Structure 1
């Protein structure tokens, strides 16, 4: 008998032919619903599940719609990609009535601080191991996250990702158009999904995020738990000078109070930025010296050991 067996191919049974077909249809529909639910709970788009499992996005879409006559071998790959036992996907008992699923539902609907405490209690690994070799640069615009992150990635041979570029790829449009079409709430949702996707697909990288991400509690908690976070600090004057040096005059255009507003934003976020695992003051420092200091900090703190 072939190692890969189609569900619908098992026609010999004590059940009649029509009853067997109906039972198989229910099984396929149940599997599709559970695959979709597992994927959504993890915040993974089909493209990522496809990359992890080797099953095409088109086939995954058919599977979730209850139209996929999937083989046992491929279903096992999907289960592994979603970090679920294959029995959970095919079992007849409604997983929503099981104790494990009840806990999962309670967890997903709990506040971020409760979820963080539960994870701390249930996770046998130390926080450093959870963060792997993922490094995230945070700070206000003009802190040097993109330029330093790209240079550091090139020097260390690590992937470098700008979160906004990932969001643009996901949305198929520039961030300013995302904001115009979907507003702040829509942008934040895409931002959270992008962080989850990057965490699931990268064990080692340098990530640069927008300055306001720290004001989104759930997403920031994910960053703090899953990444070694470094706050790139600078004075308000330095932030403004760097932004203008990049050719962007918007912060000052027609707004004489821009500097005071910038200082106010920095004050309001300072306590949030200070929750980062490490910080580096880049004020008044040449680029090469700052890059060297950033690399030294990462090695000194063991951020790339994954221990």
Structure 2
């Protein structure tokens, strides 16, 4: 702490500064209370009757000598039809452009607020993601099933990324890969993700499990969609795929489960980059859907 030594003893400068700051603060609060009362054209007696704070205490408050409690000050603010922060904040609501803008912002529609934020904070990730949701995870995670049900409950359109790729290419995904290779498929995948983001502000999208292996596409997805990783134990992934009547993962491949575990292990850190995750292991469909909808609500993914 700063201090000086004189013949009369020590004088602590820090304490003097603190006292000066306190005095200035109390004077500021007093000035604002008095100005607010004058704007409402009410006497100190009337303010006392409305707030329940004595006239003597109000006089001390307005003169800057009354160190009022926060609860009493709230009663004074309410009697003046003020927010308490207007009396104690750094910005005076009647002279500050910032406070005036805040008031207008509160009255604005969701669309107007978004426009303002786009101008003031164009790099805000929440703005880029808008109300777009994307479910990621391994095959058998429930992305399509949960995604479609969630979209129905949320009254949003639902899209399967692979179906969009097929529509854009005019052929099934397996033919795209056979004809153009993995590189051609990934190129169409990226174009589809970008096209959907440019077309829809509100959408639920289910993507293929391998999208996380393509850094540029996955980074774009993370920036422009609220991503939710639906995770499960390898055995459940495999069981769900087989329950859908697809025996291909096991056909002629006794090591299929080990391969699935290895794929999950290699992608786990990538999937974990999602904005949120839900473990569906041991959960039925209704329970999983409720958990997903609850997460979307709590995280404000669809908030305007």
2:282 pairs with 1:290: no
2:260 to 259, 262, 272: 262
* Distance in 1 separating the partners of 2:161 and 2:211: 10
What is the DSSP-based 3-state SS (H/G/I as helix, E as strand, rest coil) of the residue aligned with 1:265? helix
- Return the offset for 1:124: 2.8
Classify the secondary structure of the residue corresponding to 1:275.
Answer: coil
Residues 110-259 of structure 1 mapped to structure 2, 5 A cutoff: 124-259=122-257
Alignment-derived partner of residue 52 in structure 1: none
How many residues align? The count is 185
Gaps of 5+ in 2: 1-119
Indicate the SS of the match to 1:158. coil
Deviations 1:96-125 (A, max 9, x none): xxxxxxxxxxxxxxxxxxxxxxxxxx9634
Moved over 6 A (4+): none
| CA displacement 1:73-93 (0-9 Å, x = unmatched) | xxxxxxxxxxxxxxxxxxxxx
Q: How much has 1:129 moved relative to structure 2?
A: 1.4
What is the aligned partner in structure 1 of residue 104 from structure 2?
none
Q: Please, what TM-score do these two structures have when normalized by structure 2? A: 0.60
Structure with greater contact order relative to length (CA < 8 Å, sep ≥ 6): 1
Give the Å deviation of 1:257: 0.4
Deviation (angstroms), 1:132: 0.2
**What is the rounded CA distance, in whole Å, between the counterparts of 2:144 and 2:183 in structure 1?**
24
Q: Separation in 2 of the partners of 1:196 and 1:304?
A: 19
Give the unaligned 5+ runs of structure 1: 1-121
Distance in 2 (alpha carbons) for counterparts of 1:252 and 1:246:
13
Equivalent position of 1:281 in the other structure: 279
Residue 140 of structure 1 aligns to a residue in which SS?
A: coil
**Cα deviation, residue 304, structure 1:** 0.2
Distance (whole Å) between structure 1 residues aligned to residue 183 and residue 127 of structure 2: 32
* Equivalent residue number for residue 29 of structure 2: none
2:70 is aligned to none
Q: TM-score, normalised by structure 1?
A: 0.59
Q: Distance in 1 between the 2:190 and 2:129 partners?
A: 17
